[in-house]
Structure 1
Amino acid sequence: MNHIKIKLLTLIVLVVAVISCKKQWDNQSAGTDQQLNQNLMQAISAQSNLSTFAGYLSKLGYDKLLSTSLTYTVWAPDNQALSTIDQSIVADTAKLRAFVNNHIAKQSFFTADAKTGIRVRTLGGKRITFTATTVEDATITTPNRYVANGVLHVINKALPPKMNIYEFIKNLTGTGQLVRTYILGQDTSYVDTTKATVAGIDKTTGKPILVAGTGLVSMNKYATRVANIQSEDSLYTFFVLTDNAYNNERNKVSKYFKTVSGSADTTMNMLAALNVLKDVAVKGVVLPANLPASLTSVNGVPMPIDKSTIVQSYQASNGIVYVIDKMDFAVSDKITPIIIQGEAPTFFARTDRRSNYAYRVKNDPSGVTYHDLMVSGSGLPAAYYAGYRLSNLYTCQYKVIWRAINDFYATPTNISQRLGFSMIRNTVGRDGFLPLVQFPYTNVTPLNYNEVTLTGATNPNPTAGGTISVVSGTLSVDKYSSVDMFLQGANSTTVNANIFTADYIKLIPILN
């Protein structure tokens, strides 16, 4: 019995060995021209039509790099491809190094690996697009020469490193200067303590003492907040608005970002600028031939595209840039409704009534699932409320809507509740607030799943020059700011007489 097991084990080992050998052979056979007795530098030097590129490698000391046992892929431009290169690049060592780096990548890349196209990171940090027949816009004339330390492809065009989208904007001259100013204005830096040099430990705080000037990291807030146009690993289609187009779009939305009541200021301009420029980037690359009449921005906003107004285009290392003289955004797509979920309050009037809160998940009569908040039960103080902190409301008048569902079956009668709004600094005590805008108590009728528009707001505690006020019986935000909203139950301590509930509240900007 044992000898049968031994034979079976031997057979399995032989099968695995055969499969392993086949994989190794398949990997090697990806190279159509195998010369494993040569390294990359020897292979390049042996070809007379690559003598110019070989000279650049030797000038930079890369002849030694490409003679090591480390694995590289080289896309070598032939002499004809390099005959028209700007000689200022050759004369400047830093520029020449950046140029040559863009033709070399670590690891082996065969055309068989790139049947549908891949983006390869070069020694210079840029990514180049490699397909079965091309690299960038160069044709591979001699592919897959497999040598001892990598792969050599001969190409018919040079591959000068491209700027990424951020670098293109940074180097803009002439048109697009207002966008350039904004984007570069988002540059900042911070100290990354994990990268800083530690000089010692503060005996009082126990915190490390960092060497001044170390660990400093640069970043661009637009890249982190909207689209990472600095990253070589990202791909975007980006639209730079000309100064005229930028001003037109910013002027359309600037009145919704007043930080000083009744006037404009620098902060307003920055806020309005962000509202416009957060929607000029699209994920992925859309080439000119494929540009539609509308795209969708990274933030989901429709971008109207009139191709006749494109004044310049540039293929960047991480996408494509269009300089465009018109992008007529719809204001309703930029200044959008604010939805506050009832089940997500920021705070309550008191912290000792948790037993009265129910965060519910239910289905409405149509079978649609909703989440809401219901506050009910014994011990609930009169006029108890849930508070919601609303950040950075647009400066305009709002239509206020709620969806509040009354399915309290113990007492199938109306629920009476109301909304109030206050400037944050005017909140007083834990059992009350000072409303600047107060909607009247409104009945929530049993099993009504519809939205209800609130009207008849008053201004019980007017504040001159305040953040919010009442216009035509509804909420008006006069300064771009944050406010507190209060969902409040009836002024009663009778059990179940002061219930309140909310699925959501909508603040819909009234645009004009």
Structure 2
Amino acid sequence: MRYKGIICLILGIGGSIVSCNDDWDEHYSRNGSIPEVSLMDMILNDSQLTKFSQILMKTGADSLLTSTQTYTVWAPVDEALSSVDMDDEAALQRMVKNHIARYSNSTATEVGKSIYMLDGKVMSYESADVFNGISIVQKDILAQNGILHKLNDTIPYRYNFWEYISTQENYSKIYDFINQFSEKIYVSGGSNKKDSVFKDYNRLLQNYYYGIGWIHDEDSVYTMILPDNEAWDKAYEQVSPYFKVYNADEAVADSITKVQTGQAIVYGLTFGGRITDPGSADTLVTVTGNVIRSTKDYFAGYRQELASNGLMFLADGNLHLDDTCVWNQPIIVEGEDLDRRLVTASGTSAYVRDVDGTSVVKGISENSYLEVSGSSLNPGVTFDIPNVLATKYDIYVDFVPPAIDGNSRATEKTCLSYKMKVEQENGRTKYENRQGKNDEELIVGGDSVGDVYMKTVKVWSAYQFPTSDFYDAMWYLDEGNADKVNEISPKTTLEIKTNVTNAELNVKYVRRFRIDRIRFVPAKNN
């Protein structure tokens, strides 16, 4: 078999090495030569491929198949192309690129091995007679610049997620929202003396930070819910009230609401991997890290279709959203967080205390808390509350009981007052106060010796915030805002201080308390 080495070398042009088997050798050693004809000429001279040859010439692909580059063509016979619209140039271009790959790919190629078509789609042989689900009627026809296989049908063109929403008119609203973040960025080190090199970039189309995934990448596999325009509009109506903001310029306020609402919607749509039955999972985690618990309801009623890079669940008319799983999550501020607190009363001492497994009080968040004390004046601390939405919250403060300092202090107690700063719809500030000597909920401590349970005070129930004070991911990812992060001053604050008179000091109350954390929990009656 003296041509074995020659054929293997040709099939390996461009770095793709194809194994040679006995059937391959026998087929091409009968006449002792490789046909001196290009793939295009071979297709033109095949009476079963007249329609495909016309499509190749109409799309300009004929020049590729007459070049010295090596290609593999999977050509549908005429019967398979009888219904093709020859006037739909975009569809013809998609079909051609879906049937041609670089390099030589014989049927001796390993079953399941990824073959990249000209459009980037990944396909493979399922056997020597089946390619990407389509039967091969004649295989391994060798040309001077590659290999021709004839198929009994066209290979279905499968959109990736990005292609689907960019080409389907009824999905234009989700496309327009994501596409607004598309830009050209300079590629460092990718320029020469004459030309600058730029690449397409979209902050949302990433799989890290706050991106929804590389849904435009054929090598990345996802499961994604795609809302049509009607579903998008209904979702926007449901979500946008949470992101109602005040700005002296109403156009700016509307723009902020639109961007933040759109992000809240898309952050609940993409899941890693191909999930054929998502409703059967106990929980699912989105690409952005949100945990979806009621998966059966979340995916109910959607149409499932294959994408080239995963599975699409098409939401026709309605999108099932779970606010507390995606955008309306609890806000937690740890007492020991230095960046979130400010001593607001003269003479106040505030110290971070750490605990370990031997602590008599269990369940302290992050194993640290803040101890606040003072004797001459009522000591107080004010906490910044970030990313409050225009919705209702139950507001809690978790306190560490005095028993943390031993039996001698286990029964001491203090009376507290709270003052919360809230932005109104007109941009003005309003203060909400809660204090009083007769409200037992405001009394912290006084536990019996050995009582080591955390003390939780519910300061407000279902408090409605008129406006949102939220900084979204796209804002943080904007390089222009990198230096502004430390300048952010939340519009919502909560001050906690003792409410103890001099007469009560050390007789009834002490001026000392210990804060584990503050929690703004979305109210259930929202």
TM-score range, shorter chain: 0.5 to 0.7
Aligned to 2:86: 87
| TM superposition score normalised by structure 2 | 0.62
Is the 2:350–2:370 Cα contact (8 Å) retained in structure 1?
no
Is the 1:371–1:503 Cα contact (8 Å) retained in structure 2?
no
Aligned to 2:480: none
User: Does residue 171 of structure 2 align to residue 171 of structure 1?
Assistant: no
Distance in 1 between the 2:211 and 2:525 partners?
A: 26
Q: What is the deviation of 1:418?
A: 6.4
Match of 2:352 among 342, 348, 357: 357
Is the 1:196–1:216 Cα contact (8 Å) retained in structure 2?
no
Q: What is the deviation of 1:277?
A: 4.2
Aligned to 2:519: 505
Aligned to 2:291: 300
Distance in 2 between the 1:435 and 1:483 partners?
A: 10
Aligned to 1:452: 456
Aligned to 1:412: 409
Is the 2:373–2:513 Cα contact (8 Å) retained in structure 1?
no
| TM superposition score normalised by structure 1 | 0.63
Distance in 1 between the 2:296 and 2:234 partners?
A: 14
Aligned to 1:23: none
With 394-403 and 76-85 compared, the bigger mean Cα shift is at 76-85
Aligned to 2:97: 101
Is the 1:242–1:323 Cα contact (8 Å) retained in structure 2?
yes
Aligned to 2:154: 158
Summarize the alignment of residues 72-471 of structure 1 with structure 2, pairs less than 5 Å apart: 73-82=72-81, 84-88=83-87, 98-106=94-102, 115=111, 117=112, 120-128=115-123, 131-132=126-127, 134-141=130-137, 153-159=149-155, 161-173=157-169, 176=170, 180-186=172-178, 187-194=180-187, 215=198, 217=200, 219=202, 221=204, 225-259=211-245, 268=257, 271-285=260-274, 292=279, 296=284, 298=286, 299-301=290-292, 302=294, 315-319=306-310, 320-329=312-321, 333=325, 336-342=328-334, 343-349=336-342, 356-360=351-355, 362=357, 370-376=365-371, 383-385=379-381, 387-391=383-387, 393-406=388-401, 408-410=404-406, 411-413=408-410, 414=412, 416=414, 420-423=419-422, 436-440=431-435, 442-444=443-445, 448-450=452-454, 452-455=456-459
Question: Aligned AA for 1:75?
Answer: W
1:278-297, Cα deviation, whole Å (9 max, x unpaired): 3344444456xx57588957
Q: What is the deviation of 1:504?
A: 5.7
Question: Aligned AA for 1:232?
Answer: E
- Evaluate the alpha carbon distance shift between residue 449 and residue 247 of structure 1 in structure 2; reply closer, same or farther with a 3 A threshold: farther
1:430-465, Cα deviation, whole Å (9 max, x unpaired): xxxx9823454541557544462423x5xxxxxxxx
Q: What is the deviation of 1:371?
A: 1.2
1:215-263, Cα deviation, whole Å (9 max, x unpaired): 47453747763344333333334444455544444444444333359x9
Percent identity, please: 16
Aligned to 2:475: none
1:55-90, Cα deviation, whole Å (9 max, x unpaired): 83896322344x44x6x554343454445543236x
Q: What is the deviation of 1:180?
A: 2.2
With 330-339 and 145-154 compared, the bigger mean Cα shift is at 145-154
User: Does residue 474 of structure 2 align to residue 480 of structure 1?
Assistant: no
Distance in 2 between the 1:231 and 1:253 partners?
A: 29
Distance in 1 between the 2:255 and 2:358 partners?
A: 48
Is the 1:337–1:509 Cα contact (8 Å) retained in structure 2?
no
Question: Aligned AA for 1:257?
Answer: F
Q: What is the deviation of 1:400?
A: 1.7
- Evaluate the alpha carbon distance shift between residue 363 and residue 167 of structure 1 in structure 2; reply closer, same or farther with a 3 A threshold: farther
Q: What is the deviation of 1:145?
A: 7.5
Question: Aligned AA for 1:123?
Answer: L
Aligned to 2:11: none
Q: What is the deviation of 1:502?
A: 0.8
Q: What is the deviation of 1:152?
A: 5.8
Q: What is the deviation of 1:105?
A: 3.2
1:72-120, Cα deviation, whole Å (9 max, x unpaired): 554343454445543236xx5x8655533322334666778765x4654
- Gaps of at least 5 residues in structure 1 are 1-25, 201-209, 426-433, 458-471
Is the 1:238–1:281 Cα contact (8 Å) retained in structure 2?
yes
With 270-279 and 357-366 compared, the bigger mean Cα shift is at 357-366
Q: What is the deviation of 1:368?
A: 7.0
Distance in 2 between the 1:100 and 1:454 partners?
A: 65
Q: What is the deviation of 1:340?
A: 0.9
Is the 1:189–1:217 Cα contact (8 Å) retained in structure 2?
yes
Distance in 2 between the 1:439 and 1:121 partners?
A: 66
Is the 1:359–1:372 Cα contact (8 Å) retained in structure 2?
yes
Distance in 2 between the 1:40 and 1:169 partners?
A: 44
Q: Secondary structure at the match of 1:86?
A: coil
- Evaluate the alpha carbon distance shift between residue 102 and residue 436 of structure 1 in structure 2; reply closer, same or farther with a 3 A threshold: same
Q: What is the deviation of 1:480?
A: 1.2
Q: What is the deviation of 1:148?
A: 9.6
Paired positions, count: 436
With 30-39 and 122-131 compared, the bigger mean Cα shift is at 30-39
- Gaps of at least 5 residues in structure 2 are 1-16, 436-441, 470-489
Is the 1:229–1:318 Cα contact (8 Å) retained in structure 2?
yes
Q: Secondary structure at the match of 1:183?
A: helix
